[in-house]
């Protein structure tokens, strides 16, 4: 009987080098992927933080607009300059207060589109009537001047327009748009506050 020769199951040195090369390539690929991820996170981190700060600043601006608008309207009613909200709504351009208007209804527009609609020629002055405040700066810089990067816009919308009782002018929607930043870094926030006149005996 012939004896079978034992097969040599050991790896040759060249085979071991080939496996080692594959392992090194895999490790390098993994490290490259991790490095690229870290670079991306490190690069976008400050931008995200800046966006969050701008969004918070825009919210602060909208709240400042509410405070200023509230005081202005309260003073108008107290002095008798206003007896109701009639004739004080933003009604231009046509359809801005009508939910069935597909072009100009204010809730169909972004904040930037609304601001552009109010100031169509971009000169910083509203081109329509009954805007209480438009791009009003309120933050003081160290030199005492107002910082144009932080503004608020305030106007009233007739919530009854096109509704069941268009003659009811004792309540309204106050719209406050806060802005922070400039150009591509502009952030906006919109507040919509329901307001009503407290009638005598009410």
What is residue 85's three-state secondary structure?
A: coil
pLDDT in tens, the chain (202 residues): 555 555 555 555 555 666 677 777 888 888 888 777 776 656 566 666 677 788 999 999 999 999 999 999 999 999 999 999 999 999 998 999 998 888 999 999 999 999 999 999 989 899 999 999 999 999 999 999 999 999 999 999 998 776 656 667 888 999 999 999 887 788 999 999 999 887 655 5
Q: How far apart are CA 157 and CA 175, in angstroms?
A: 7
**Strand order, beta sheet including 187-196:** 131-137, 150-157, 171-180, 187-196
Domain ranges of the chain: 49-196
Residue 160: name the closest of 173, 146, 174, 175 by CA: 173
Give the pLDDT score at 28: 82
Count Cα neighbours of 44 within 13 Å in the Cβ-side half-sphere: 5
What is residue 149's three-state secondary structure?
A: coil
Contact status, residue 126 vs residue 136, Cβ threshold 8 Å: no
What is residue 187's three-state secondary structure?
A: strand
Residue 86: both structure tokens together: 């009639």
Quote the distance between the C-alpha of residue 142 and its chain's center: 27
CA torsion 54→57→62→66, rounded to 10°? 180
Give the pLDDT score at 198: 74
Contact status, residue 67 vs residue 157, Cβ threshold 8 Å: no
Quote the distance between the C-alpha of residue 107 and its chain's center: 14
Give the pLDDT score at 45: 60
Q: How far apart are CA 94 and CA 83, in angstroms?
A: 24
Cα distances from 144 to residues 63, 101, 121, 150, in angstroms, run: 22, 44, 29, 15
Contact status, residue 187 vs residue 167, Cβ threshold 8 Å: no
């Amino acid at each position: 009987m012939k004896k079978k020769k034992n097969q040599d199951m050991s790896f040759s040195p060249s085979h071991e080098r080939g496996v080692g090369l594959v392992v090194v390539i895999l490790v390098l690929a993994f490290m490259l992927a991790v490095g690229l991820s870290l670079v991306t996170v490190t690069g976008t981190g400050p931008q995200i933080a800046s966006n969050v700060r701008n969004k918070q600043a825009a919210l602060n601006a909208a709240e400042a607009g509410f405070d200023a608008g509230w005081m202005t309207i309260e003073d108008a009613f107290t002095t008798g300059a206003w007896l109701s909200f009639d004739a004080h709504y933003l009604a231009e351009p046509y359809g801005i207060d009508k939910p069935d208007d597909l072009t100009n209804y204010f809730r169909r527009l972004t904040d930037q589109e609304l601001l552009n609609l109010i100031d169509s020629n971009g000169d910083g002055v509203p081109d329509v009537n009954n805007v209480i405040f438009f791009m009003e700066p309120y933050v003081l810089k160290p030199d005492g001047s107002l910082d144009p990067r932080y503004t608020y816009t305030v106007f009233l919308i007739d919530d009854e327009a096109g509704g069941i009782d268009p003659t009811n002018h004792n309540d309204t929607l106050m719209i406050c748009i806060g802005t922070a930043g400039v150009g591509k870094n502009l952030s906006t926030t919109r507040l919509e506050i329901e307001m009503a006149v407290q009638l005598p005996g009410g």
